[in-house]
Amino acid sequence: MVTMSSDPSDPVQTLIHESVRLLKSNLGKEVVARIKPFIQQFPGHPRLHHLLGLALEQCGDADAAMHHVSRAIALEPDEGESYKSLAMLLRKKGKISIALARAMDALERRPQDSDIHFLLGDLHMDRGAMEQAIASLTQAVTLQPEFLSAWINLGLCYKAQGQLVRAKECFEQVLTIDPESSLAHVNLALTWLLLGEYGRGFDAFEWRFRLPSGEHPPIPPPENIPRWHGESLQGKNILVIAEQGYGDTIQFVRFLPRLESLGAKVHVMVPVPLESLLARHPEMGQVQSTTRWEETLDYFIPMMSLGQFFARDLGQLAIFSDYLTADPEKSCYWQRRLPQDRLKVGLVWEGKPLHSNDPLRRRSVTPHDLAPLGQLPEEKVVFVSLQREVTQEQRHCFPQGMTVVDVGMDLHDFSDTAAVMANLDLMITVDTAAAHLAGAMGKPAWVLLPLAPDWRWSMDRDSSPWYPSSKLYRQTRINHWEGPIRQMVIDLRNRL
């Protein structure tokens, strides 16, 4: 952010001072209205162009914003702040390489600016260049020891490298500075969960409801319904609200029968694509996607908070397996449609980007990465793509001689996906809802995982405590899939 002192006798300096204040309050539209008349009078004033660019960016006009910030650089090429702003604008447009070059220009002019080191760290994170990101973020916290966002991102980088002890230290450092930092608590919780410290992890994960972004259940509970904290459920009605992603819901519905065993009548609110799959399991309770309930509710609980009660250690997971099944009628349809003379292997190579730190985990692969599977004899194996959206370019990435049956466009919800999976011999998938569904159905699933996976897949093991039928293939180098896919080819060849 541009900062300026105000000279009451200079209307331009006064305008600059007021514009900085307004931008901090996200009042870019007002700044645009104030600066435009002045910029006509002083077209060669670099700070006016810079501030107008920042204001236009707040108004959503990225192209005009870059024009005016670039104009500020042309007028005052030795001022690093404008280069930093241009780098941030370019990053928002996804032009990471150019943004990195402009950030380096800013650093050359302002080498002691912790914000520029932080920006460089972010850009290196976007590129998946963890070593460079760590170097930049370390410099940022060296220059500004209480730079909380830099400590958080530094912890995320160490976590992406599998250096969990260092990651914890970074998150804990934030809490020594600000004990109420919800972001630090949540990241520390996810690190504990990844380490298998489920009791500590799930307790700390409750901080997710205090995150600035407000990661609350997608639909708030009915008014005047208290949160369940472990009280007796005998004869009570409890509402469980699905949260996070589809895979999280599939993973945690295993605990719904436990609530019923405590005497509760269970009501479950889930996203529409999961409703049909779960509603056919009466042990899950009354499942629906709407918010209207005929009965009076006594308690509610966000679904992932069930981990606090039923997954405090790995031993509690042993009783849950094969808890979802496919619709028999739909399964019969796919049995008739899919080939029966070869090993049928399902494929899912891409999931939705998850969080702001998804570039650190890079969980998706490409059909090109999976091309080594085409080495297997076509007469013995057929691959079935369950990927919902496949581009023509992706279709052409599969090598000649690799038979791929594409059923993704026929999958309208998860009950359809389950029916296809019921007819497969094996699923090969990245960390997405398909991995959870296969595991919940007890289907053999080979799951491709990044070096530092999501917490539920643990570290340094080839099986999942949550899904005994799954086998885990892990990266040994960040962002390199060749090794785990090569091992898959060997294992699949041995199975034929």
Above 90 in pLDDT, residue 1? no
Amino acid at 3: T
Q: Which two tokens stand for residue 237?
A: 């009605």
Q: What is the pTM of this model?
A: 0.89
What share of the chain in percent tops pLDDT 90? 78
The answer to whether the CB of 51 falls within 8 A of the CB of 30 is no
pLDDT > 70? residue 462? yes
Integer-rounded Cα Rg, in Å, for the chain is: 26
Q: What does the block give as tokens for 408?
A: 């993704």
Q: With bands split at pLDDT 50, 70 and 90, how would you rate the model's confidence at 496?
A: confident
How many angstroms separate the CA atoms of 45 and 131, rounded?
39
Give the pLDDT of residue 217.
Answer: 57
Residue type at 380 in one-letter notation: K
Which residue type does 384 have? V
pLDDT of 10 > 70? The answer is: yes
Q: Residue 415: which H helix or E strand, with range?
A: helix 414-421
The per-residue b/e assignment along 365-397, b for 16 or more CB within 10 angstroms, e otherwise, is bebebbebbbebeeeebbbbbbbeebeeebeeb
109: number of Cβ within 10 Å: 16
Phi-psi region of 420 (alpha: psi -120 to 50; beta: other; left: phi over 0): alpha
**Percent of the residues in the chain that have a pLDDT greater than 70, as a whole number:** 94
Residues with Cβ within 8 Å of 116's Cβ and at least 6 positions away in sequence, in order, are 80, 84, 103, 106, 107, 110
User: Average of pLDDT values for 260-279?
Assistant: 96
Distance in angstroms (rounded) separating the CA atoms of residues 81 and 68: 13
Domains, the chain, with CATH or none:
1-108 (1.25.40.10), 112-215 (1.25.40.10), 237-317 (3.40.50), 328-495 (3.40.50.2000)
pLDDT in tens, 129-146: 999 999 999 999 999 999
Query: Which H helix or E strand runs over 189?
Result: helix 182-194
Q: Mapping DSSP to helix (H, G, I), strand (E, B) and coil, where does residue 383 land? A: strand
Q: What is the pLDDT of residue 6?
A: 44
CA dihedral 325, 331, 332, 335 (to 10 degrees): -120
